[in-house]
């Protein structure tokens, strides 16, 4: 077996945590039956305990072992989309601690589509809890180097699994089964797998469901107003034809911006001398893949601010996952 994989296994078996590549973003993984490891995940990420973790499995059997209500809908969706970027929220059983689910009676489960992650989980024989491997509220990592720089002082060991193919976090769907045998389906986070694709699979399997709107705060992960934020002000603009005028508007708005937004610090320049423009592919799935990496690169540049000219086609449904993340990552929007 590969020596890095062996090292990761040894760390995990000693109640430690490791950086784990997946097809969406890199995760910060620990064994679900190690209280010490789970506590380390929250401490290392500086993540509040009210934000629950996703549990990663290597087989459908393993997923079933975590829930008290595996049902026709979870069977159909996992058969269709796993391994892949879909997290299912289901009723948990006692094998999943309250620490992982933040006291909720449900657990988020997914089977990642990355050979190293699957190898790791299979060899360990225990599911791995893993949030994205970034400090709370900050930009998600899509390369090992991102994880290494994020946790430089914590010296987290991270497996090298290349650039993440999907590049945005998994779609999260909550499934509830009522006594009437009807299902309620809720989209809690958009991602590469669209809600239409999900509903089509349920229909194909003749499953009766209601699509309900997500309302609650914790139930909707990225639903904090800000998330994925880089260290520099990231500003959405309609055009960049006259940078000087834009700088003026941005400077005025920056004055009223706090140094910290929802607990996340941003470094505000005293005066704006230069900007860097974030540019993304016009092909949506390619843009998903590029986004977090491009945002980090821009944040590491010498420019004072990052600007993004929001294209009109972002209103098309296929762009929803990226559009939502860009809105949350932005510190300001300037007309």
By CB under 6 A, name the binding residues for ligand TXA: 22, 24-25, 27, 51-54, 85, 87, 89, 101, 104, 106-108, 112, 130-132, 169-170, 172, 188, 218-219, 221
Does 67 participate in binding Mg ion (rule CB under 5 A)?
no
Collapsing DSSP to helix, strand or coil, 335 comes out as coil
- Please report how close the Cβ of residue 24 comes to Mg ion at its closest, in angstroms: 10
Tell me which stretch binds Mg ion (CB under 5 A): 80-88, 130-138, 179-187, 239-247. Answer: 130-138
Collapsing DSSP to helix, strand or coil, 276 comes out as strand
Q: Which is nearer to ligand TXA, 134 or 299 (CB)?
A: 134
Q: Which is nearer to ligand TXA, 108 or 161 (CB)?
A: 108
| DSSP character string of 287-327 | HHHHHHHHHHHHHHSS-SEEEEE--GGGGSGGGHHHHHHHH
- Please report how close the Cβ of residue 112 comes to ligand TXA at its closest, in angstroms: 6
Residue 142 interacting partner from Mg ion, ligand TXA, none (CB closer than 5 to 8 Å by kind)? none
Instruction: Say if residues 192 and 166 touch (Cβ distance below 8 Å).
Output: yes
- Please report how close the Cβ of residue 106 comes to ligand TXA at its closest, in angstroms: 4
Q: Which is nearer to ligand TXA, 218 or 303 (CB)?
A: 218
Report the distance separating Cα 275 and Cα 82, nearest Å.
41
Taking the CA atoms of residue 251, residue 149, residue 293 and residue 276 in that order, the dihedral angle to the nearest 10 degrees is 30
| DSSP character string of 161-208 | --S-SS-SPPEEEEEEE-TTS-EEEEEEE--SS-HHHHHHHHHHTT--
Q: Which is nearer to Mg ion, 76 or 86 (CB)?
A: 86
Residue 53 interacting partner from Mg ion, ligand TXA, none (CB closer than 5 to 8 Å by kind)? ligand TXA
Q: Which is nearer to ligand TXA, 121 or 306 (CB)?
A: 121
Report the distance separating Cα 18 and Cα 267, nearest Å.
29
Q: Which of 22, 74, 113, 132 binds Mg ion (CB under 5 A)?
A: 132
Instruction: Say if residues 61 and 78 touch (Cβ distance below 8 Å).
Output: no
Q: What number of helices (H) and strands (E) belong to the chain? A: 11, 15
Residue 219 interacting partner from ligand TXA, Mg ion, none (CB closer than 5 to 8 Å by kind)? ligand TXA
Contacts to Mg ion by CB under 5 A: 132
């Amino acid at each position: 077996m590969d020596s890095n994989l062996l090292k990761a296994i040894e760390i995990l078996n000693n109640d430690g945590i490791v950086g784990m590549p997946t097809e969406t973003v890199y995760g910060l993984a620990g064994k679900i039956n190690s209280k010490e490891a789970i506590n380390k995940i929250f401490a290392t990420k500086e993540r509040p305990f009210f934000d629950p973790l996703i549990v990663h499995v290597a087989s459908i059997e393993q997923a079933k072992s975590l829930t008290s209500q595996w049902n026709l809908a979870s069977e159909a969706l996992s058969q269709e989309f796993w391994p892949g970027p879909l997290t299912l929220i289901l009723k948990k059983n006692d094998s999943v601690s309250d620490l992982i689910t933040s006291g909720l009676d449900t657990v988020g489960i997914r089977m990642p589509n990355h050979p190293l992650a699957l190898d790791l989980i299979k060899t360990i024989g225990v599911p791995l809890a893993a949030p994205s491997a970034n400090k709370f509220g900050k930009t998600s990592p899509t390369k090992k180097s991102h994880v290494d720089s994020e946790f430089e002082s914590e010296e987290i060991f991270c497996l090298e699994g290349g650039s993440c193919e999907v590049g945005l976090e998994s779609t999260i769907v909550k499934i509830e089964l009522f006594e009437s045998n009807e299902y309620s389906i809720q989209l809690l986070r958009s991602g590469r797998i669209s809600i239409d694709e999900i509903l089509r699979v349920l229909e194909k399997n003749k499953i009766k469901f209601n699509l309900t709107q997500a309302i609650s705060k914790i139930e909707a992960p990225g639903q904090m107003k800000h998330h994925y934020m880089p260290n520099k002000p990231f500003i959405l603009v309609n055009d960049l034809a006259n940078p000087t005028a834009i700088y003026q508007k941005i400077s005025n708005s920056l004055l009223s911006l706090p140094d910290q937004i929802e607990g996340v610090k941003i470094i505000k320049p005293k005066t704006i001398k230069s900007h860097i423009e974030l540019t993304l592919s016009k092909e949506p799935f390619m843009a998903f893949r590029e986004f977090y990496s491009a945002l980090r690169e821009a944040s590491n540049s010498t420019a004072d601010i990052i600007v993004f000219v929001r294209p009109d086609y972002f209103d098309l449904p296929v762009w929803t996952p990226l559009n939502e993340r860009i809105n949350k990552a932005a510190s300001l929007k300037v007309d």
